[in-house]
Amino acid sequence: MTTPAPAPLDLNNIQGDILSGLPKKTQFYVFFDITDVAKFRKDLNKFIPLIKTVAGVLKDRDDIADHKKKKLPGLIPLTGVNISFSHQGFIKLGIDDSSLAANGDQDPFKIGQKQDAITNLGDPKKSDGTPDWDAHFLQDLHGLILISGESHASIQKKKLEIELVFGVNTPFPSIKEIISIQGDVRPGDESGHEHFGFLDGISNPVVNGFDTVINPGPKLVDPGVLLTGHPGDVAQTTRAAWATDGSFLAFRYLFQQVPEFDDFLTKNPIAKDGNGKALTPVQGSDLLGARMVGRWKSGAPIDVSPFQDDPALAKDPKRNNDFAFAGEINSQLRCPFAAHVRKTNPRNDLEAPPPGINPIPIEGRRIMRRGVQFGPEVTAEEKHAAKTQHGRGLLFACYQSSLVNGFQFLQQSWANNTNFPPFETQPEAPGLDPLIGQGVRAMSGLDPLAEQKVLSMPAFIIPRGGEYFFSPSLKGLKSTIASAA
């Protein structure tokens, strides 16, 4: 049965990164505090025209496609700007954001990620009980400005333009920059791949009524899973009018221990594949990495190609997301229970449970992942020493209409839960998500011929900051957050 299309979305009212992703080769994440409320709300009127909407992003992507089709040289100069606010930011502005905190005083948006990191996310903490984060993220952050573009020169120019709007570096600024972090898409053949080398961003949700290309894979999600005030938003009926067409942005400052990750793979190669074929050490290390992630570095899913990479599969959008761990409720042969891809999108593990157990829909848990890599490529010295000497990782961002059902749930109840997925009855526990799971890191199923064998591992991704923000609609910014011009 065809899912009926929801009411049309106002693509000129929704900030562009949410549904479309701001096109980028490079990006600034500018975290700021508001220092002069009255002036900020006036300055915001001058800033709003700089915001790139979904409609604007779609036009940019058409222009990029046309540029490539004509085989024109270089990249089209373009930038995209979005803005979002924390709960502390709304308090500073004197704006009632209570309709955003659907879960009351313990809503993650209201308590902020600094507290949530300890209470629910499981981040390492210091002796004083605060998360072991970069100092910039231990203070209150009022807002975040995203600046995306095709070159460093373009985003730097746009950043200066924004600073001028808010009077930065003048006697009367309305904001203070707390920290700016620059991210860059990785160079050459590594473009689209995160620092461990795996192709990223393949399995974002397809939105009913918005996306026009619908490839085989997970079920469509209603717009309200990502956008407030629409069908699929669990708090749709209680949102304030200004809070519709927005989305919650969960940001994480994640450092990746790439030399250590590569060294772990090298020292723990899988001896034979699931068919009993002997592997070389390099093949065994590649298979280990693929089974930790759930995909080969090319992006090919191991549930479809379990023991050998298939670059052609990885490049085929009609096949590279078309899998469901079907018939594998008690099997780790093709894909370990705790593989990152299976932990964060369990598909049939919940949607097709054993007889007598009701299916658990997961569309409401889906998140729209964005973000960009930061830091340099691994140096020869780091490779030789198998030790990280330069900071690098992922500026992780994801959008959802409910932090409780989205990011927080995926981290706490799935990635950090050694017994998830829940319906397998094998003697071995699945273990933590080997990439983002917080706690004592170990997982079973890595050796396809010895599924019960548990392999312990160090932390390969270290959180060093984060916050929860809300990205309002253009109408919300104009009607409620900015002052009357």
Catalytic residues: 200
- Output the CA–CA distances (angstroms, integers) from residue 413 to 32, 410, 417, 437, in the order listed: 31, 6, 6, 10
| Long-range pairs of 102-106 with CB within 8 A, sequence gap ≥ 24 | 102/234, 102/235, 102/238, 102/402, 102/404, 103/404
User: Who's near 151: CB < 8 A, 6+ residues apart?
Assistant: 25, 26, 75, 77
Rounded Cα distance between 40 and 368, Å, is 29
CA distance 210 to 7: 10
